[in-house]
Structure 1
Amino acid sequence: MHEPARVEQAVEEPVREDRFPHERVVNFCDAVFAIVITLLAIELRLPGGELIERMGADQAWGQTLGLLVSYLISFFVTGLFWVGHMLTWKHVRRVNGKVVWLALLQLFFVVLMPFATRQVSEHFLVYALVLTGISLFSWLVRRTVVQQEDLRARLGPAQARLLLARGLIPLLVFSSAVPLGLFVPGKWAVLVFVLIFPLSTLARRRILAGGD
């Protein structure tokens, strides 16, 4: 008499895996990005009289200009990662432990951005490694979301490939800057970052032109 109830209970038993509230994970990530992008501006300050007297006006203002350029680059690079974060997480319906830990590993490198920004001129390799770490785990999160959310079926194969390609291009560009930074001054090596935009446009055209 009670057999159907037991069968129904067995069918409705949840899958044994960690589940997390989507909103809390997204809000936490957004908060980290917001704090990091704010901290980037902490190093910005006009040269004081003591610095000018010690270094000379030209060198002191040159250092300030270098910090400003580093800030602008890091601001837009961090913004690029945040946009990619939103493009990925808008498709997430199930947040499990794998996605959470990959996101945390991405944030591990994101919070190093203020530190890495101070190293652009003298230690560009550090900057490039931090950007490579962010883009690596950003792409791993995206690949995991495409698989577990079955985005090839939900969005179509072309849109799913485009989503993966848009995450892979920054990884390729930033990782290529690592060996480049060993031979080229940082102020010139950062120019390779510009390749992200034409490569992304080219990938979009080729993938969408190919269709499903």
Structure 2
Amino acid sequence: MREPAGVEQAVEEPVREDRFPHERVVNFCDAVFAIVITLLAIELRLPGSELIERVGADQAWGETSSVLLAYVISFFVTGLFWVGHMLTWKHVRRVNAKLVWLALLQLFFVVLMPFATRQVSEHFVVYALVLTGISLFSWLLRRTVVAQEDLRARLGAAQARLLLVRGLIPLLVFSCAIPLGLFVPGKWAALVFALIFPLSMLARRRILARGG
């Protein structure tokens, strides 16, 4: 008995080796982000009585507040990266090996966030390097998606350009924080992170006004 043409074609069509299940890749990335945020919270501890007796209550609570501030910053930074990750992957129709490897390289730096957060007060440059690494591969991933999925045709030139520029701004800001952290204390160098929001708003306004 002859199989229907459609079934025969489906059986004979070779499976492309560069394709991966979209849902599995996205779910894996989401799980890594969730685990990293959980690990950040594990570092939060109240000062013990031994620490208070050894260094005094003021210094002990001062160190605790520094750790809490670092956690808050890292939580929102990691959350922003996750939001950007979702904005990129919602446009992906075909997942190939290049996208998977860029995602893995991004996650390599993401999983360093708990370690980098512990170092932020004494080694701010390490923290800035990790953020720069996440931003770099996030942007490379986004640029690949824009080209591969032809987002300029699907979304329009302005929206595609805005997607790229909004991914580039964190990379530039975090990169600038590296040399800045060599000369000023980390708590002051971290203030440069706040530039991401006004720069993103300015870029959106100018790109949409010019139509790309």
Q: TM-score range by the shorter chain?
A: over 0.9
Amino acid at match of 2:18: D
RMSD: 1.5
**Which consecutive unaligned segments of at least 5 residues does structure 2 have?**
none
Q: How does 1:107-146 map to 2 (within 5 A)?
A: 107-146=107-146
Distance in structure 2 (CA, Å) of the matches to 1:180 and 1:157: 35
What TM-score do you get using the length of structure 2 for normalisation? 0.93
Amino acid at match of 1:121: S
Aligned residues: 204
What TM-score do you get using the length of structure 1 for normalisation? 0.93
Amino acid at match of 1:130: V
Counterpart check, 1:181 vs 2:178: no
User: What's the CA shift string for 1:148-199, capped at 9, x where partnerless?
Assistant: 0000000000000000011000000001101001001001111000000000
SS of corresponding position for 1:183: coil
Counterpart check, 1:20 vs 2:20: yes
C-alpha displacement at 1:144, in angstroms? 0.4
Counterpart check, 1:209 vs 2:209: yes
SS of corresponding position for 1:122: coil
Quote the residue 1:55 is aligned against. 55
SS of corresponding position for 1:118: helix
Overall identity of the aligned pairs, in % = 89
Counterpart check, 1:82 vs 2:82: yes
**Which consecutive unaligned segments of at least 5 residues does structure 1 have?**
none
Distance in structure 2 (CA, Å) of the matches to 1:17 and 1:157: 31
Quote the residue 1:31 is aligned against. 31
Distance in structure 2 (CA, Å) of the matches to 1:208 and 1:13: 43
C-alpha displacement at 1:42, in angstroms? 1.0
Counterpart check, 1:72 vs 2:48: no
User: What's the CA shift string for 1:119-138, capped at 9, x where partnerless?
Assistant: 11100000000000000000
Amino acid at match of 2:70: S
SS of corresponding position for 2:184: coil
